[in-house]
């Protein structure tokens, strides 16, 4: 069965009918639709709050035309300054509509991640991100790698592999290890937020930020 049949309850083929969050076939079989609201409940944006994040998403919307019709309408409105208020309303309306669609549709997933969801960075707590360039000289990435080396808690698999590859040293780590940690942090910061209790989020807060002074 095509993935497109899951995209919207309003676009079902003749052989199936939509009932709530399920696809019901004439054969009597059914399949649960997993929506963005189901899978990423922690990342949903509140239409009456989350103003800072909405502003970021609006700036992203101005750069790229989305796939969802309502979001495309919002994108077109961004082209005229006098339509900004309406564009922002359409952005929120489009996201609200998208939350009920299936996560299996790659086009909708792209829109969700870019315009309608919180990232790990958006929800991050206090503390400054490590932004130093990678070099052979000792810097803040060395301190973070040293913390990782000594860490006894649960780790994301990628960080666990990095920790395993770290050799004892005098406090300055090879550039490739610093680069690996920096790349991991950059990737995680922009990933969809799935909860403050997730291993990834906790590791981000521990190893991607400068130590509290």
87-127: pLDDT as tens digits = 999 999 999 999 999 999 999 999 999 999 999 999 998 89
Q: Read off the pTM.
A: 0.81
**Both structure tokens of 77:** 């409105």
Cα 160 to chain centroid distance, Å, stands at 22
- Domain assignment present for 163: yes
- Domain assignment present for 153: yes
Do 144 and 99 fall into the same domain?
Answer: no
Q: Name which of 122, 115, 108 is nearest 50 in CA terms.
A: 122
The whole-number pLDDT of residue 10 equals 36
d(CA 211, CA 55): 29
Do 184 and 154 fall into the same domain?
Answer: yes
Helices vs strands, H then E, count in the chain: 10, 3
- Domain assignment present for 162: yes
d(CA 91, CA 81): 15
- Domain assignment present for 26: yes
Q: How many CB atoms within 10 Å of residue 77?
A: 19
The whole-number pLDDT of residue 134 equals 93
- Please list the pLDDT of the chain residue by residue as tens digits (213 residues): 433 333 333 333 333 333 335 554 455 566 789 999 999 999 999 999 999 999 999 999 999 999 999 999 999 999 999 999 999 999 999 999 999 999 999 999 999 999 999 999 999 988 999 999 998 888 999 999 999 999 999 999 999 999 999 876 667 899 999 999 999 999 999 999 999 999 999 999 999 999 876
What is the span of the domain harbouring residue 28?
Answer: 3-33
Do 141 and 65 fall into the same domain?
Answer: no
**Both structure tokens of 49:** 């709050």
- Domain assignment present for 184: yes
Distances (CA, A) of 125 to 58, 95, 106, 113, 163: 22, 25, 30, 21, 24
Do 52 and 107 fall into the same domain?
Answer: yes
Domain count, the chain: 3
Q: Environment class of residue 99 by beta-carbon count within 10 Å: exposed (0-12), middle (13-18) or buried (19+)?
A: buried
Token pair 């919207």 is found at: 8
The whole-number pLDDT of residue 162 equals 97
DSSP state of 137: S
> Would you say 103 and 43 are in contact if contact means Cβ atoms under 8 Å apart?
no
- Domain assignment present for 213: no
Grouping H, G, I as helix, E, B as strand and the rest as coil, residue 172 is coil
The whole-number pLDDT of residue 26 equals 54
- Domain assignment present for 202: yes
Do 78 and 22 fall into the same domain?
Answer: no
The whole-number pLDDT of residue 31 equals 74
The whole-number pLDDT of residue 2 equals 39
Domain final residue, candidates 63, 94, 118 = 118
């Amino acid at each position: 069965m095509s993935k497109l049949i899951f995209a919207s309850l309003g676009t079902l083929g003749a052989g199936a009918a939509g009932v709530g969050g399920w696809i019901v076939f004439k054969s009597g079989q059914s399949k649960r639709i997993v929506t963005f609201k189901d899978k990423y409940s922690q990342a949903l944006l509140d239409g009456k709050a989350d103003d800072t994040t909405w502003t970021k998403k609006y700036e992203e919307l101005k750069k790229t035309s989305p796939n969802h019709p309502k979001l495309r309408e919002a994108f077109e409105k961004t082209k005229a300054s006098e339509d900004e208020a309406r564009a922002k309303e359409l952005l929120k309306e489009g996201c609200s509509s998208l939350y009920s669609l299936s996560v299996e549709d790659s086009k909708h997933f792209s829109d969700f991640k870019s315009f309608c969801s919180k990232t790990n960075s958006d929800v991050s707590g206090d503390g400054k991100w490590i932004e130093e360039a990678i070099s052979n000289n000792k810097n803040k990435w060395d301190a973070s790698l040293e913390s990782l080396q000594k860490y006894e808690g649960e780790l994301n698999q990628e960080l666990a592999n990095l920790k395993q590859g770290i050799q004892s040293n005098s406090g300055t780590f090879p550039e490739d290890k610093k680069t690996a940690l920096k790349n991991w942090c950059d990737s995680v910061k922009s990933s969809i937020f799935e909860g403050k209790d997730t291993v990834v989020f906790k590791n981000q807060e521990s190893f991607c930020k400068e130590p509290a002074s």
